[in-house]
């Protein structure tokens, strides 16, 4: 086995699934705020589009997917971000954003070159570092914490590091905290890309889950050397459909398409048809956003009443909550487990985050209220 991979900790969501299974095996009624996999039904018209598209004979999908899928995404992107994309050259479907983010360093990083660093947020989506490790890149994590408001700033990174960097990953709205990147820092990163020549990759899977200002896309600030990763998992409740998109620099995507021939294809055609239905409709997204907003309100108010401090963010379906004084994140999470409540200890996202735990807004509003009743007795 690759020696570098032996050092990997268990993937956070796998560990949370193990903890949940152990509780269920004991007969505990579980309220799972750990894994960010919402339980709201996928909109009926999306499911109907999928069912109507399953063919009698199934064949391999292409790498680039259906033209109408790329056009539907481009139309949504223009409506949402006021950025016009060329569906033929600046849009590429993927089997969810996770596999694309994992594969991209394999396509872009040459470990024999001096420019082989991958800069990424810590904490952040784990696949950013894991995919880079598989590509034998030189990993350069940027520690984010409450002290720097979980904001990545190119001014805080030495110029010689950026000169040796092949990929910079941004993750806003941020997982696990829900923090957004302000406009000046978006522009600063695009300016840094132009100056230092790395590929600027932006994980934007949570842009559609918000309660106040609408999150931004990197492509609103620049396109050369920039890629945006989007997904229907959170926006449309299609986690199992594995439907994502990459958009941005046409030259980079042309190179990536050539590599993808060895890595896989686009989604199955019936998933692509369901995805067209999803990208082409906003009503179901508005309805989901309202549900998450209600869960956020219920838990935020409840936590404050219990004396728990919630980090002030308004995006994603996560709450980032400070561990009570005198507790560690693991000890507190263990006490919650005994009450049938699953949360993610902050240290799962890096040792610097042990003062927090993450709450995914997964149970129903009624489930959130029940959880608060259990919380009050802990």
- Give the DSSP letter string of 132-147: HHHTT-EEEEEE--GG
Q: Please report the pLDDT score of residue 4 as a whole number.
A: 66
Q: Please report the pLDDT score of residue 7 as a whole number.
A: 64
Q: Please report the pLDDT score of residue 337 as a whole number.
A: 87
- The fold for domain 44-279 equals 3.40.640
Residues of the chain falling short of pLDDT 70? 1-16
Q: Which CATH architecture has domain 3-42+283-376?
A: Alpha-Beta Complex (3.90)
Give the pTM.
0.92
Q: Please report the pLDDT score of residue 161 as a whole number.
A: 98
Q: Please report the pLDDT score of residue 263 as a whole number.
A: 80
Around Cβ 37, how many Cβ atoms within 10 Å?
A: 15
26-82: per-residue pLDDT in tens?
A: 777 889 998 888 889 999 999 999 999 999 998 888 899 999 999 999 999 999 999
Q: Please report the pLDDT score of residue 261 as a whole number.
A: 81
Q: Please report the pLDDT score of residue 329 as a whole number.
A: 92
Residues of the chain with CATH 3.40.640.10: 44-279
Q: Please report the pLDDT score of residue 260 as a whole number.
A: 85
CB 177 within 8 A of CB 313: yes
Residues of the chain with CATH 3.90.1150.10: 3-42+283-376
Q: Please report the pLDDT score of residue 168 as a whole number.
A: 98
- 96 conformational bin, left if phi > 0, alpha if psi -120 to 50, beta if neither: left
Helices 269-279 and 67-81 cross at an angle (nearest 10°) of 20
Q: Please report the pLDDT score of residue 254 as a whole number.
A: 94
Length of the chain: 378
């Amino acid at each position: 086995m690759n020696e570098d991979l032996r050092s990997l900790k268990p993937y956070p969501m796998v560990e949370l699934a193990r903890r949940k299974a152990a509780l269920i095996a004991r007969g505990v009624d579980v309220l799972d705020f750990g894994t960010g996999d919402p339980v709201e039904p996928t909109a009926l018209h999306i499911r109907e589009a999928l069912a109507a598209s399953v063919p009698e004979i199934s064949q391999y999908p292409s790498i680039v997917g259906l033209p109408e899928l790329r056009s539907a995404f481009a139309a949504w992107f223009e409506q949402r971000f006021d950025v016009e994309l060329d569906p033929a050259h600046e849009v590429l479907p993927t089997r969810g954003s996770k596999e694309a983010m994992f594969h991209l360093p394999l396509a872009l990083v040459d470990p024999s070159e001096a420019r082989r660093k991958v800069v990424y947020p810590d904490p952040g989506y784990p696949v950013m570092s894991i995919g880079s490790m598989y590509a034998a890149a030189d990993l350069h994590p940027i520690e984010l914490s409450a002290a720097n408001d979980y904001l990545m700033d190119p001014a805080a990174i030495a110029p010689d590091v950026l000169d040796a960097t092949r990929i910079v990953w941004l993750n806003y709205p941020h997982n696990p905290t829900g923090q957004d990147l302000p406009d000046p820092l978006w522009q600063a990163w695009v300016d840094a890309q132009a100056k230092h020549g790395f590929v600027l990759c932006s994980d934007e899977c949570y842009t559609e889950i918000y309660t106040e200002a609408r999150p931004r896309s990197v492509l609103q600030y620049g396109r050369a050397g920039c890629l945006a990763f989007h997904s229907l998992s959170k926006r449309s409740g299609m986690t199992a459909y594995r439907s994502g998109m990459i958009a941005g620099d046409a030259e980079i995507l042309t190179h990536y398409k050539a590599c993808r021939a060895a890595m896989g294809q686009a989604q199955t055609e019936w998933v692509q048809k369901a995805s067209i239905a999803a990208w082409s409709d906003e009503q179901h997204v508005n309805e989901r956003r309202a549900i998450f907003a209600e869960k956020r309100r219920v838990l935020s108010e409840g936590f404050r009443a219990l004396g728990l401090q919630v980090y002030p963010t308004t995006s994603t379906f996560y709450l980032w909550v400070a561990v009570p004084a005198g507790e560690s994140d693991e000890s507190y999470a263990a006490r919650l487990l005994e009450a049938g409540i699953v949360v993610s200890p902050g240290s799962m996202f890096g040792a610097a985050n042990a003062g927090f735990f993450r709450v995914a807004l997964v149970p129903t509003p009624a489930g959130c209220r029940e959880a608060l009743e259990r919380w009050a007795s802990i």
